[in-house]
Each structure stands twice: as C-alpha cells, then as structure tokens.
Amino acid sequence: TPTSLYPWIKAHDHSKQKEIADWLTMEIKDFVSYISPSKEEIMARNSVVKTLKQQIKVCWPDAEAHVFGSFATDLYLPGSDIDMVVVSKNGDCENRHKLYQLSSFLRSKKLAKDIEVIAGAKVPIIKFVDPKTNIHLDISFERTNGLDAARRIRKWLETTAGLRELVLVVKQFLRSRKLNNVHVGGLGGYATIILCYHFIKMHPRVSTENMTASENLGTLLIEFFELYGRNFSFDNLVIAFDGKTDSPKYLKKYKYPSLIASRNPFALVVQDPDDPGNNITRSSYNLRDIKKSFGGAFQLLVDRCYYLHSASYKKRIGQSILGDIIKYKGKER
C-alpha cells in the first residue's frame, strides 16, 4: 500500500465547503476515523487483555487485574501501550519478590517478551511486550488512582460530544512533536484530556448551550491552541474542577501553595479531580516547549485558513488544513 503524508484526506475532499471552519471540522472527523483502530486491532487488544487477566489470576488467585489509561477510555492511538494494574486483597503485590514471581510466570507461559522489572522506582512496574501482537504493556500494582481517572474520563466522554475528537487530535499533535512523554517533561494523556475537557466546558458558546462542540470542532481546535498557546496565565492559575458540581474553574496559585512544587512560576498546575492535594502535571516541566508548540499550531492553522479562504477552487482541491500541524505518515486505508 502506498503511504502519504496526509493519508486521511484521500477520498474525503471538503474543498468546496463555504466556511473554512466546517472544512476543518470535517477533516478532524476524517482524521479521527482514520486513526481509530480497526475491528481486527480491537479484537487483538481485547484478547491480549483477557488472557493476561485470566493468567494473572492463575498466578495469584487472590488478585485481580484491571486495565486503565487510554485502553480503558478508548482514547488510544495506533501503537499505544496498554496499562494494567493488579490489585490484591492483601495489598502486598508491590514487593520486589512478588514482582519477579509474576515476571517469571509470564515468561514461562510465553505471555511476555523483552521483560523489564522496575522494582526500585516510586511506582514499581513490569514492562513487557506481547509476543503475538508486539503490543507494549505496563503492569503496576495496588494503585487504584488510574482506575478512578478512567471512570471519570468515561463519564466525561459520555456527556461531552466532541471531546473524543479534540483529545485524539491534540494527543496526536503532541506525539508528533515528541511532547507527550512525561519522563522527559511532556504532557501525559490524563493531563491532555483534562485540558481539552476544561476548555470545552468553559467556552462561552458551549457553556451557554448556544452551540454543540461536535459541530464546531474546527474552530474549537484553533481556539484550544489560542487559549493554551497564547492567552492562559500559567504563572497565576491552577486548572481545577469544583469538587461537588464537577464544573471547571481556575484557582489562583498563590492561594494554594501546597499544590506548587516548582519554584518556577511558569509551570502548569492541574489539580487532580480525585485528590485535591495532587498536581497531575508536576512532571510536565517542559512547559516552555509545550506552550510554544500550541502557539505554533495556532499560527499554522490560522495561516492555512487565510490562505485557503482566498485561494481559487482549483488550488483548494485535495488540500489539507490539519496536515500542517500533524505529520502522520501512514498507510492509506
């Protein structure tokens, strides 16, 4: 199969749209359906998870394995890893001895290759690769906060049309700029979802039910980059939700010194909706580049809109708006 730089626009030409924002909205939907996993991929992932859940039960009868992260919320991109957590009645699975016990069990059952046991970390994990599908997996132990987050995200997705599309585009954008890895200061999946949801819920026309987010994804994507790339005061504000009503709000940093770990005022602080004392983005130290990339995406998108708006129909045919911010080299499908 041939590959192209913007594989999602093949056979989906919107160059005749009158409003450039509608063109972008349609292109976002095409992109999302392009990167969404096929039936075969979904079935392969489900079967990997099912087998592991059963076999971990065989190894440790009083423990239960669960999935969390992007697999549990259906917000994964092609090639994303699967996150699992093992929770036991005794709560003792995290000790070094038991980690090695599980890793050799998985190896003996031929359920894992390239196994790494990271026992000394703050969050001990076993990393490995599924031999059949080559999907990467991370197993952590006795921590239920990932499960709480997944539950909350699933609720947001059910009640917020357009959230899934916005998140997937922003996630893919961050991945293409290598800014999605928290180990090098990037923005994690949960933080990305919170920024998108918070933005949608605060939008003057969405919060007043004057418009529906899923019908305005084009303008909303540009305005997402406009808010976090140009206007939001990372120095002054904390991104938060009301504990009772779950509605979005900003807190003033100086009133919540316990949330602030960094001495640098230019730091992203996102209050954990399930744990008000926790800052979800404490590892996202590379805010400088994150903000710069959002600002750059805003500029690229609006310049592209201005160019295509005044271009002739002939020049518009087969063009991409999103292609400037997301270089996704992939199979045409």
Partner 1 sequence: SNKARKKQYCRTCDLFNHDDDNCPNIWRSYLLNKQPQQHSLKDVQLPVIYCYNCGDSTHFGDECKEARTSRVPNLSGSAFSGSNLPQQLR
List of residues contacting partner 1 (CB under 8 A): 19-22, 24, 201-205, 207-212, 215-216, 218-219, 222-223, 226-227, 229-237, 247-252, 295, 301-302, 305-306, 309-310
Cβ 19 to partner 1 shortest distance, Å:
5
* Cβ nearer to partner 1, comparing 90 with 258: 258
Cβ 195 to partner 1 shortest distance, Å:
12
* Cβ nearer to partner 1, comparing 295 with 330: 295
d(CA 45, CA 52): 11
d(CA 255, CA 249): 14
d(CA 133, CA 175): 22
Beta strands 136-141 and 82-88, pairing class:
parallel
Please report where in the chains the tokens 């991109």 appear, as a residue.
Answer: 77
Instruction: Look at the alpha carbons of 210, 216, 222, 225 in this order and tell me if their dihedral is positive or negative.
Output: positive
Tell me if 112 sits within 8 A of 106, measured CB to CB.
Answer: yes
CA R_g for the chain? 21
* Cβ nearer to partner 1, comparing 116 with 242: 242
Cβ 211 to partner 1 shortest distance, Å:
5
Cβ 182 to partner 1 shortest distance, Å:
24
* Cβ nearer to partner 1, comparing 219 with 286: 219
* Cβ nearer to partner 1, comparing 45 with 304: 304
Tell me if 65 sits within 8 A of 85, measured CB to CB.
Answer: yes
* Cβ nearer to partner 1, comparing 165 with 226: 226
Tell me if 37 sits within 8 A of 76, measured CB to CB.
Answer: yes
Number of Cα atoms under 13 Å in the Cβ half of residue 72:
20
* Cβ nearer to partner 1, comparing 31 with 224: 224
Cβ 80 to partner 1 shortest distance, Å:
30
* Cβ nearer to partner 1, comparing 21 with 174: 21
Q: Please name the residues in contact with 287: beta carbons below 8 A apart, sequence gap of 6 or more.
A: 185, 234, 266, 267, 268
* Cβ nearer to partner 1, comparing 92 with 246: 246
Q: How many residues does the chain have?
A: 333
Cβ 229 to partner 1 shortest distance, Å:
7
Determine whether 205 is exposed, middle or buried from the number of CB atoms within 10 Å of its CB (0-12, 13-18, 19+): middle
Cβ 321 to partner 1 shortest distance, Å:
9
Quote the DSSP letter at residue 270. B
Cβ 148 to partner 1 shortest distance, Å:
24
Please report where in the chains the tokens 């270089």 appear, as a residue.
Answer: 327
Cβ 76 to partner 1 shortest distance, Å:
29
What does residue 285 show for φ and ψ, rounded to 5 degrees?
-75, -15
Nearest one of 26, 5, 29 to 17, comparing CA atoms: 26
